[in-house]
Amino acid sequence: MRSGFVLKGASPALLIEAVRAAHAGDALISPSITPRLLRDLPPARPTSVTRPAQPLSARKTEVIRDIARGRTNQEIAAALFITLSTVKSHLATNQNKFGAATASKSPPGPGRAD
């Protein structure tokens, strides 16, 4: 379960939403303090995208696109008519090409909104 922050003067409706969010594993922050939190956030650091020495194959690009769309490895395998092991192999190759330690560190694929 996640936590959130709700001011003690919050409306009953907001309290209900906070409980629902916590129950669903989400977090809720009182809208009245959101501007202060955002103001105090440090500026985002620019990230550099590592480009592979060799371009990705069409199939590896398809796998990255499907990952970016939120599909599971099993869904990708079924959609592309390949085995689960092949999907994992493509992901490992992509991670190595980009020097990423984990899939979450891989650069955004085509069509991915960050």
| Nearest alpha carbon to residue 27 among 39, 38, 19, 16 | 19
Is the pTM value of this prediction over 0.75? no
Tokens of 59: 């199939």
Assess contact for 37 and 54: CB atoms under 8 A: no
Q: pLDDT-derived band of residue 9, with 50, 70 and 90 as boundaries?
A: confident
* pLDDT number for residue 79: 94
Q: What's the mean pLDDT in 71-85? A: 93
109: helix, strand or coil: coil
Between residues 103 and 87, which one has the greater pLDDT? 87
Q: pLDDT-derived band of residue 112, with 50, 70 and 90 as boundaries?
A: very low
* pLDDT number for residue 29: 78
* pLDDT number for residue 50: 66
Tens-place pLDDT, residues 29-42: 777 777 877 788 78
* pLDDT number for residue 76: 93
Q: Which residues of 28-54 are buried (b: 16+ CB within 10 A; e: fewer)?
A: bebeeeeeeeeeeeeeeeeeeeeeeee
